[in-house]
Every structure is written in structure tokens, then in C-alpha cells.
Amino acid sequence: MTFSIQNFEHEKILLLLTGSRDLKITHMHVVKEMTRRRYHLVLITATLPYSVLSKVYDREGIDMRMIRVIDLVTLYSGGSISVPGTACRFLPNPGNLTSIGIAVTDILNEVSGSKVCLVFDEVSTMLLYAPSITISKFFHFLSSKLRIRDDNGIFLAVERGIDPTLLAQLSTFVDRVVPSSE
């Protein structure tokens, strides 16, 4: 995956499609590139718990001070908050999009005034917890919030894991869809 933010001034919200085998690589590449460019990341993770992400980021030399995480995995899976006071919010129900929206709003307000990029890993996983139309409405909310604030956003999705109707709807909320071949 050759991800570039060269057009991020004009294409502020992207939907990155990736193969299922490349999701972790794409995720890591996006986080490395965005932190290297000094963006403050608001990362919503529906695939890996914070404890795993923080270890991987540490191993990869990624500065965690630039990242705020909304973890939708740990509490839902029966885990516990093992690192209190971190820059992570642990939410118990990935299907409660209202609580995710509130957490996003709170964190965006905390990092206001900085270069900010919201990264959502991974759209397709959300289909396990809510119907397609609800997911579509939620991503419309996220993209609208980012546009109002003039912040950036990157939504990751497994290319073959997302139904065509949802993909078509999400495509209208972003500035560009980046297929896995780019």
C-alpha cells in the first residue's frame, strides 16, 4: 500500500480499501505516516484492543503521545482496563454508536487547534454490531463533524468485506475512495 497525504489539503476525508490480509499493514502504514507528519490521531479501533496496539506501536517506534484511542474491543471481549490514565477510552459496546460519537466529540475537542486526523479501523467490522443503514448514518455523522471542524479523516475498510450498498453510501461522504491497488 502506497499511502500518501500529498492531497490532504483538498481531499481531507479518505476511504482506504484494503485486502483482508493487508489490513494490519495498511493500518500501521497510515498511523506511521500521519504521526510522522505530526497529525494528532484520534483512532477508533474495532479490530485490536488497546493493549495490543500500544505494544505494536511501541515496537514500531510510533509516538503514542500523538494518538488518542477509542477502544471498542477490550471491554466487549471481557477484558479489563489494565492501563488507567492512558489516552484511551474504553467503550463496552461497539454497537452503541451514540457513545462512540460522544467519545469522538470529546476527544476532538481536547485536541482542538492541532492538525487532527480521525482514523477508523475498520468499517467492515462494524457490520457485526449494527445494520448497514445505521453504519452509513454514523459515518455520515463522522464525516460531517470532520468537515465542520476542518479536520481530516481516514476510514479503513476491507474491500471485499463491505457490501456494495454501504460502499456506495460511504463513497458519497468522503473526498476519495482509494482502492487497494493504489
Domain CATH for 170: 3.40.50.300
The DSSP secondary-structure symbol of 18 reads E
Check pLDDT > 90 for residue 4.
no
7 part of a folded domain: no
- Residue tagged 475537542 (cell numbers): 109
Q: Is 6 a domain residue?
A: no
- On whether residue 8 sits in a domain, the answer given is no
Query: What share of the chain has pLDDT > 70, as a percent?
Result: 91
> Residue 71: how many CB atoms within 10 A of its CB?
26
Domain containing 137 equals 13-178
Tally of residues, the chain: 182
pLDDT of residue 81 exceeding 80:
yes
φ, ψ (nearest 5 deg) of residue 51: -60, -40
pLDDT of residue 33: 92
Asked if residue 121 is part of any domain, the answer here is yes
Quick one: pLDDT at residue 58?
Answer: 92
pLDDT at 177 over 70: yes
Q: Would you state the pLDDT for residue 114?
A: 86
Q: How many domains does the structure of the chain reveal?
A: 1
Radius of gyration, CA atoms only, the chain: 15
